[in-house]
């Protein structure tokens, strides 16, 4: 069985106090930033550059939870289909993976939760994409991993299996929406969209889906 993905510590973002003589300089700099970020003054290249950076950040942030869900799903599947009888290791993997789909345990999701689309992109779907992917991970994927823990204690708990399927169907809608939004915006900017490649219901064994 695979080991759990690594969770990295959040980056420190210190704030610095300025003395009174520097206030006017700081205010002027802020005004320049606001003006340069205003949609009407930005070129297509400016917007494209910000979108490219943002979609990379969003893609990176959600992948740690995606890896954790995949990791847990593999461990549970191996137990359910009988290819492994190492229940202790499977339970350990699932337990260690769960924090990776929570902003409390994963700095990537904390970053995703804090993203606000820049003004340059306010007429596009990037904020909706951010919100869709965050909800995909938390609470939905996080709850599925918790369900996996329960399922490992009772393989025949149909209520838990049904909850997993229900939540994954919801996640599939968010994933489809987010990918469509990325595709549309990337096409507008003439750049390649990121392929999210998130876990979907098709990745689950029939022992869970019942299909």
- Per-residue pLDDT at 192: 96
**Backbone angle region of 14, left / alpha / beta, with phi > 0 → left and psi within -120 to 50 → alpha:** beta
Task: Report the C-alpha gap between 85 and 113 in whole angstroms.
Answer: 38
Task: Report the C-alpha gap between 28 and 122 in whole angstroms.
Answer: 24
Closest CA to 171 of 142, 195, 128: 142
- Per-residue pLDDT at 123: 86
User: Within 13 Å of residue 164, how many CA atoms lie on the same side as its CB?
Assistant: 30
Helical ranges in the chain per DSSP H = 23-36, 44-80, 87-97, 107-114, 126-135, 142-153, 158-189, 206-209
Handedness of CA 132, 204, 5, 163 (dihedral sign): positive
- Who's near 27: CB < 8 A, 6+ residues apart? none
- Per-residue pLDDT at 201: 98
Per-residue pLDDT 10s for the chain (211 aa) are: 544 443 333 343 333 233 333 333 343 333 334 434 445 567 889 999 999 999 999 999 999 999 999 999 999 999 999 999 999 999 999 999 999 999 999 999 999 999 998 888 988 989 999 999 999 999 999 999 999 999 999 999 999 999 999 999 999 999 999 999 999 999 999 999 999 999 999 999 999 998 7
Q: What are the CA-CA distances from residue 166 to residues 5, 70, 112 (Å)?
A: 25, 17, 24
User: What is this structure's pTM?
Assistant: 0.79
- Per-residue pLDDT at 73: 98
- Per-residue pLDDT at 29: 38
Task: Report the C-alpha gap between 205 and 181 in whole angstroms.
Answer: 29
- Per-residue pLDDT at 44: 86
Tell me which H or E stretch contains 157: none
């Amino acid at each position: 069985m695979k080991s759990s993905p690594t969770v990295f510590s959040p980056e420190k973002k210190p704030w610095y106090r300025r003395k009174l003589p520097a206030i006017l300089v700081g205010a002027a700099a802020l005004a320049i930033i606001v003006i340069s970020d205003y949609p009407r003054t930005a070129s297509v290249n400016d917007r494209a550059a910000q979108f490219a950076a943002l979609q990379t950040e969003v893609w990176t942030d959600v992948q740690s939870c995606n890896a954790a869900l995949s990791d847990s799903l593999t461990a549970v599947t191996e137990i359910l289909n009988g290819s492994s009888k190492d229940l202790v290791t499977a339970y350990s993997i699932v337990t260690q993976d769960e924090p990776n789909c929570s902003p409390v345990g994963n700095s990537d999701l904390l970053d995703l939760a804090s993203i606000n689309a820049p003004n340059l992109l306010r007429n596009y779907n990037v904020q909706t994409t951010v919100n869709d992917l965050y909800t995909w991970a938390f609470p939905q994927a996080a709850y599925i991993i918790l369900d996996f823990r329960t399922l490992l204690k009772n393989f025949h708990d149909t209520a838990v299996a049904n909850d997993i399927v229900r939540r994954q169907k919801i996640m599939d809608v968010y994933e489809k929406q987010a990918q469509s939004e990325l595709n549309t915006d990337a096409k507008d900017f003439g750049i390649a969209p990121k392929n999210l490649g998130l876990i979907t219901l098709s990745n689950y064994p029939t022992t869970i889906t019942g299909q």
